Chain A
Amino acid sequence: MLKVTINKNDCIGCGICAKQCPEGYELNDEMKAVVKNPNAPGVKEAAEACPVAAISVEGEAEPLVQKTKEEACEVKPALCDYHGVMVFAEQRGGELKKVSLELLGRARGLADELGVQVSAALLGQGVEKLAHRLIEGGADTVYVVEDPRLEKYNTHGYAKAMIELIKAEKPEIVLYGATHIGRDLAPRIAKRLDTGLTADCTELTIEAETKMLLQTRPAFGGNIMATIMCPDTRPQMSTVRPGIMKALEPDKNRKGKTVKFDAKLSDKDILTRIIEVIKERKQVANLEDAKIIVSGGRGVGSADGFKVIQKLADALNAEVGGSRVAVEKGWISKDHQVGQTGKSVRPNLYIACGISGSIQHRAGMQNSGCIVAINKDPNAMIFTVADIGLVGDLFEVIPALIEELRAAGIGQ
Chain B
Amino acid sequence: MNIIVCVKQVPDTTDVKIDPKTGTLIREGVPSIVNPDDKHALEEALRMKEKFGGKVTVLSMGPPQAEDALRECSAMGADDMVLLCDRAFAGADTWATSYTLGEAAKKIGYDLIICGREAIDGDTAQIGPQMAEHLHLPQITYVKNVETDGNKIVCERALEDGYEKIEASLPALITVIADLNKPRYPSVRGIVEAYREKKVTVWNAKDICADGTCIGMEGSPTSVKRSFAPEPKGKGEVLKGSVKEMSKQLVVKLKDKNVLR
Contacts and interface: CB of A to CB of B under 8 A. Distances in A.
B90 A273 contact: no
A19 B213 CA distance: 13
Interface in B182-206: none
A208 interface: no
Interface in B21-38: 22, 24-25, 27
A198 B239 CA distance: 40
A152 B247 CA distance: 50
- Which A-B residue pairs are the 8 nearest by beta carbons? A221-B13, A15-B91, A196-B221, A384-B232, A196-B222, A271-B138, A19-B217, A199-B124
Given A51-B25, A404-B250, A408-B255, A188 B243 contact: no
A383 interface: yes
A276 B224 CA distance: 41
Given A27-B90, A220-B11, A225-B227, 12 more contacts: A16-B223, A18-B217, A179-B160, A180-B160, A183-B141, A188-B133, A188-B139, A199-B125, A226-B228, A230-B223, A279-B162, A348-B259
A410 B261 contact: yes
A244 interface: no
Contact of B233 (A185, A273, A280, A385): A385
Interface in A259-309: 271-280, 284, 292
16 contacts: A12-B27, A13-B63, A16-B91, A20-B224, A31-B90, A155-B140, A180-B142, A184-B141, A185-B129, A187-B130, A188-B133, A224-B24, A224-B227, A224-B229, A271-B138, A400-B246
Contacts of B98: 191
B129 to A, nearest CB: 4
A389 B246 CA distance: 9
Given A19-B217, A225-B230, A200 B123 contact: yes
A156 B139 CA distance: 8
Taking each of A31, A184, A191, A391, which has the highest tally of chain B beta carbons within 10 Å of its own beta carbon?
Answer: A191
B243 A220 contact: no
Contact of B224 (A226, A232, A388, A410): A226
A392 B246 contact: yes
Contact of B159 (A52, A180, A220, A362): A180
A91 B162 CA distance: 15
A316 B137 CA distance: 49
Interface string B207-224: 000000000110011111
Interface size range of chain B in the complex: 35 or more
A400 B247 contact: yes
Chain A residues touching B, majority SS: mixed
A341 B123 contact: yes
A37 interface: no
A14 B246 contact: no
A72 interface: no
Contacts of A251: none
B253 A188 contact: no
Contacts of B129: 155, 183-185, 187-188, 191
A49 B216 contact: no
Nearest to A383: B236
Given A13-B90, A225-B229, A274-B166, A156 B138 contact: yes
B182 to A, nearest CB: 12
Nearest to B19: A53
A324 B14 CA distance: 8
Given A187-B133, A228-B224, A410-B260, A389 B238 contact: yes
Contacts of A52: 24-25, 27
A362 B230 contact: yes
Taking each of A13, A159, A188, A385, which has the highest tally of chain B beta carbons within 10 Å of its own beta carbon?
Answer: A188
A5 interface: no
Nearest to A378: B238
B162 A49 contact: no
Contacts of B244: 400, 404
A358 B230 CA distance: 11
Interface in A320-334: 324-325, 328, 334
Given A224-B229, A360-B13, A272 B166 contact: yes
Nearest to B160: A180
Contact of A27 (B87, B127, B161, B226): B87
Interface string A379-394: 1010111111111100
Contacts of B228: 48, 224-227
A395 to B, nearest CB: 10
B57 interface: no
Interface in B153-193: 154, 157-168, 178
A268 B122 CA distance: 34
Contact of A229 (B63, B165, B223): B223
B1 interface: no
Interface string A166-187: 0000000000000110011111
Interface string B106-126: 000000000000101111111
Contacts of B91: 14-16, 18-19, 27
Contact of A228 (B90, B154, B223): B223
